[in-house]
Structure 1
Amino acid sequence: MAEPRRIALMPGDGIGQEVMAAAAEVLQALDKQTPLGLTWDWLEWPSTDWHRRHGEMMPADAMTQVQAYDALLMGALGDPGPLSDANRYCLPDSVSLSPLLQFRKGLGLWACERPARLLPGAPQYLADERAAEVDMLVIRENSEGEYVNQGGRLHRGTADEVATQLEVFTRRATERLIRHAFVRARERLEARGADARHFHCADKGRAGAQVCLITKRNAQPYWGDMYTEVFAEIAAEFPEIGVHHELVDAACMKFVQCPWTFDVVVASNLHGDILTDLAAVLSGGLGLAPSCNINPDSRAMPALFEPTHGSAPDIAGQGLANPAAMLLTTALMLDWVGCAQAAERLRQAVAKDLATTAGQRRTCRDVTAGVIAALH
């Protein structure tokens, strides 16, 4: 008998505590239906409360401890106290969010995937009826680019101060990122089958799948041209996949103007960071936006799964948090650990609950109970 796969539940701060409780309850319901072969542990870290008690966001050996798990499911990080509480324990983002970068870089999780699909019943912020067809996957480079944090400040605080911020792009990281985008486009095409949508592509007419490359090569030609050249080389290996290229500013415009024309989008660390939040709004808002940080080439280290909504300290502890993003993120985690059927049941349950309660004001408890009812 195979060993159970181990999951670390990391509630973190603010509404992370509430949505993680919802995720655990739903996991238990799924496990009762069909045993998942999973075990999970609750970890008090990383969190602001852990920092308040120990002077750091997580233990010194945290990176070693998490390697015992197959996946990490995180709630949210940041100040957990209500904004009206003058005594709350506040930390700068550079401290409270630092575990995210430590996990992504220390565990080699070089790809961030954020699907954006508008489910029936979700808020639709665009008036065009075609906005209901939004179904894209944004893949963001996670290991280098604009977020390598190399640089410095010279003559700090004086009129002669100079700040430098270095960007680093390597061919190795570029190749693996873009190849992964094409693999995911092929998988999406196969999953659609006869129902495959068609996308207008730059040089292949209409295709049932598309990868759109995002750069700013007109203003940043060195890495932009490298990305473009590698993209063309890898695209030749996937003749059935359509290709497209957008500058990041034009992409932002077209995400609003015609988001239904995008399928798989691949972008650098910074550009992907911006576009994924915009894509989340197109799929109904951050309360419905799942996310994962993975190494598609290896399972030697655990992957990190987290919703994108943050700790929302203004509503923390009031039971108002929508756990849907966390539950959809949990479905991504279940896919990763080999529980694909349970993952799809969970996605369908979230979609059914959303569609049958559209427009209602509901609590975290209400949504959790509704999803569990839909599972049955």
Structure 2
Amino acid sequence: MKKLKQWLRDGSLWLIILYLLLSILVVTANYYQIKQEEMNLLTRGLYNSTSFTFAFQNSSLSIDWKKLDTDKPYTVFNELDTKQKYEDRAIYFNEKTFVPPMVSGRYFTATDFYTGQRFAVLGQEVGESVRKEDVFEKNGKEYFRLAGKTFEVIGRMGASYPSEVDELALVNMDAIDNHPNLYVMNTKDNKMKQDQALSVNQNSIPIQVIDRTDHGAQRYLSTDSYQKGILIFIAGILMITSLLFNQYWFNKRKNEICILWQHGIPLRKVYKRMTVQYLLLVSICYGLVSLGSSFLFAVWGEITVDSLRSYVSQLLIAYGLILLFSLLSIWVLKGIGLKPIDEKGTSRS
């Protein structure tokens, strides 16, 4: 109780409350961004904003996708035209790829490709409106029949809201014979799209890039602008509140600063100690909210493992911004606070 009264008197209690609220705002905005990105991918059937559609100029060509020459992660889909009520695709990915929310089982891993196995990941609605012989159970396992081949279903994907993945069937690319259909690639390597060619084992393979605005970045323009607006708004709040919080806290402790100065303690030493205290309070408040939210989201399964990594990295970036704005506002207010004391002269009587 005594400590609480001291915190109330010197303004620390209100500083803690205000930074807890600010931390909750930052965490909530970050969570919204992650869920929005996830929803965009799911509603687009796992195609991201940098994806491009193409076909081989030689329609009968088949390549080994693991030998594609690029140092960037990529995911490639083959849009299979099987005339089913659901959408069929063959998939291959290199390195890290987006893992959609899973209802049961697991998603593909790197070891599922080019090992002579046939695996499938189905949307949660696949099997509701198709022939029973296409999706069936045998010996306690679920199987999926596509193009005359049988695939073991290793997982079911789907979110808590309706999306295109609910009626999407994915199979490993190497288990499908050559299909002269469209390919869609998720990658940040723009060279392939610009050159209209794939490099496989140092061999250039010409492709025809197809303009499909529904699968291109244009659909993301309004969403991206909206999300950037949110980030700018949050950054503005951080900057303004840091300045106001600092001013409030240092004003509450101005008498303490004067007393310490009159007892022979240099002002710079006083401000250094108070700055450390301030940043420590900020770090504790933000750390508690960030760690608590990350733990809850991980336990409740609100976001995927990959999304959780992105969530944590953005929390660290936000923490860096909070510290930066805090230090800048302290630097500004330090000059304002030192000036009236300096004007009193060097007398400490």
Q: Tell me if TM exceeds 0.5.
A: no
TM-score range normalised by the length of the shorter chain: under 0.3
TM-score if structure 2 supplies the norm length?
0.22
TM-score if structure 1 supplies the norm length?
0.21
The structure carrying a bigger helix percent of its residues is 2
Larger Rg: 2
